[in-house]
Amino acid sequence: MAQMWIAPRAGDVDVLEFVTAPVPAPGPGEVTVRVHAAGVNPADFKHFARATDGFPLPLGYEVAGTVTALGPGAGLASGGGAVGDEVLAFRVSGGYASELTVPAADVFAKPAVLSFEAAANLLLAGATAAEMVELTRVDAGDVVLIHAASGAVGISAAQQARWRGARVIGTASERSFDGLRRFGVEPVAYGEGLQDRLRALAPGGVDVVLDCVGTPEAVSVSAAVAKDRSRMVTIVAGPQTAAAGFIAIGGGMPASKAFRESVRGELIARAAAGDLVVPVARTYPLGQAREALRFLQTGHPGGKLALIP
């Protein structure tokens, strides 16, 4: 038996229920993982808050833990696999759990240098950021503007853009400036006068815009400073971003799933080499998932959150 969180209906975090349920034995091509950390993401809340059917819905898309059982013929996506192996898994269904059975194709060996908390938060934000960088064709010498650069997707995107030799400018609150500089980002405060501050940093404009917030300010300023609007991408699709010419990802692009699956191995390898860091701000006991989601909704967690069974 495992403890897990479900959403019996749509609503806010108060509708969530912490239940006990059996863990299915792994069948062919499946692996059972004892969860040591579950990643907490804005997508988790959106999943049940906006759903119209499929209830009860399990929560959580990414975990890290140890293998407790393998189904017939099952091996990890990264190769091999044995009981006791330390792993991370994405994209799963029902990661807010103490144990779960998942497709082996979504399970990878965890790099020893990564904590379980960091490993459980690597791939959702990392794959989204990778898609943003790929779609905008970031290359050496580009000036890249990232809105909400101190958020999970922004931090990963900044590191990935830097791998390609780009110069990165990131909007954030001043309390996040030191953290951004750690990753080679030139921070700039959002708010009144943002366009002038960006013009001072990049007089010729910016080559690429990666928008992780979708505010009216981010949209209007981006349109004003971008050299080429075909190289603007957002994770917040809406009428304003569409009208400004942003590419919208997060389900809107047909190739999203295939790309995110293909990029997982590279992200794990980069993390193992120390080239991709996942800042973890807080951990919560598994039973406090509601509190973790409420804190995430403040918009300023200062890093990733993880649930610890």
Q: What is the pLDDT of residues 128-143, one digit of tens each?
A: 999 999 999 999 999 9
Same domain, 11 and 117: yes
Q: What is the pLDDT of residues 233-280, one digit of tens each?
A: 999 988 999 999 999 986 444 456 778 788 999 999 999 999 999 999
Integer Cα distance of 219 and 242 in angstroms: 10
In this structure, what token pair is assigned to residue 79?
């190769």
Note down the domain range covering 142: 125-248
Same domain, 297 and 215: no
Q: Is residue 264 part of a domain?
A: no
With pLDDT > 90 as the criterion, what percentage of the chain qualifies?
Answer: 90
Q: Quote the pLDDT of residue 254.
A: 44
Specify the pTM: 0.94
With H, G, I as helix, E, B as strand and everything else as coil, classify residue 134: helix
With H, G, I as helix, E, B as strand and everything else as coil, classify residue 92: coil
Q: Quote the pLDDT of residue 299.
A: 75
CATH code, 220: 3.40.50.720
Give the closest residue to 210 by CA, choosing from 301, 299, 131, 271.
131
Q: Is residue 189 part of a domain?
A: yes
Measured in whole angstroms, the distance separating CA 7 from the mean position of its chain's CA atoms is: 21
Q: Is residue 173 part of a domain?
A: yes
Q: Quote the pLDDT of residue 32.
A: 98
What rounded mean pLDDT belongs to the chain? Answer: 95
Q: Is residue 273 part of a domain?
A: no
Q: What is the pLDDT of residues 163-217, one digit of tens each?
A: 999 999 999 999 999 999 999 999 999 999 999 999 999 999 999 999 999 999 9
